[in-house]
Every structure is written in C-alpha cells, then in structure tokens.
C-alpha cells in the first residue's frame, strides 16, 4: 500500500485518522494521526488443496435426505456412523442449517442413490 502522507510503498501500512479523514499511512507516518486498525497483509487466495466448490443443491435437500434416511430405517446416528460423519452434521444438513460441502454432498448422493447436486439443465438425460 502506498502511504498517502509520504508516498512510500510499504507492506506494513496502517489505516489512520488524519485530519478527520481515514487514510493509509506507513508505520513511520502513522504517528501523525490516530491509528484505526492494523492492516493485515492480504494473502492471495490460492486454491491449493481445496478446489472451488460451486454447486447447487436441489431444493428441499434437507427433507429429501430425511425421507431417504427414514426409508432406509436409519437413525441420524446410524447414518452418521456409516458415513463417518458427526450426527450433528447430518442433523444440520437435514434441517438445511448446514450446506454440505461437495464431498459430503457426493457422499450422501451415493449413500442414498439420490440426486442432490443440481446438474445443468441440458445435461439432464431422461
């Protein structure tokens, strides 16, 4: 960030209140104003281990999962054990309080042999 007071490029810039304005200043100039907050160095978000998970779940996936589970005669605990997940996770997903990640969604699809992840319309083959 470039210091708005001296113009020097500094990685340790801070946001300060200077003459009633919020400005970016280097550490040397920060004493000229009131420090607001320390600027955290911005790390580029590198998708290294976690791939971008952008997918849509079918509407009412919670009810769908609950019904599928009941059809199998399983309790949440049973299902959690079989999927190596926590019962609370399963419960939250059923209540749609938790959006399963792609891995869990695929696992649930396989487990119940049901479709949870919305496929693109044109890919729908029937």
Is residue 3 part of the contact set for Zn ion (CB under 5 A)?
Answer: yes
Q: Kindly state whether residue 26 participates in binding Zn ion, applying the rule CB under 5 A.
A: yes
Distance CA 6, CA 30 (A): 11
Does 29 help bind Zn ion (rule: CB under 5 A)? yes
Any contact of residue 23 with Zn ion (CB under 5 A)?
A: no
Nearer to Zn ion, 18 or 61 (CB): 18
How many Å apart are CA 44 and CA 98, to the nearest integer? 27
Based on the shown chain and the rule CB under 5 A, indicate whether residue 16 belongs to the binding site for Zn ion.
Answer: no
Nearer to Zn ion, 13 or 79 (CB): 13
> Applying CB under 5 A, does 108 fall inside the site for Zn ion?
no
Does residue 14 touch Zn ion according to CB under 5 A?
Answer: no
Alpha helix segments (H runs only) across 20-75: 27-30, 61-71
Structure token pair of residue 25: 């200043």
| Residue 35 interacts with Zn ion (CB under 5 A): yes or no | no
Tell me the C-alpha distance between 47 and 92, whole Å.
27
Separation between Cα atoms, residue 1 and residue 104, nearest integer Å: 40
The residue assigned the tokens 């040397």 is: 28
Residue 6 or 35 having the CB closest to Zn ion: 6
Where on the chain is the footprint of Zn ion (CB under 5 A)?
Answer: 3, 5-6, 26, 29
């Amino acid at each position: 960030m470039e210091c708005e007071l001296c113009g020097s490029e500094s990685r340790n810039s801070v946001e300060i209140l200077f003459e009633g304005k919020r400005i970016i200043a280097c550490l040397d100039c920060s004493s000229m104003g009131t420090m607001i907050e320390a600027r955290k160095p911005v790390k580029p978000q590198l998708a290294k281990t976690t791939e971008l998970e952008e997918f849509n779940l079918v509407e009412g996936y919670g009810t769908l999962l609950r019904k599928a589970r009941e059809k199998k005669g399983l309790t949440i605990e049973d299902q959690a054990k079989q999927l190596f997940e926590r019962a609370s996770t399963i419960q939250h997903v059923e209540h749609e309080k938790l959006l399963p990640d792609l891995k869990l969604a695929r696992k649930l699809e396989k487990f119940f042999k049901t479709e949870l992840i919305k496929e693109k319309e044109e890919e729908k083959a029937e």
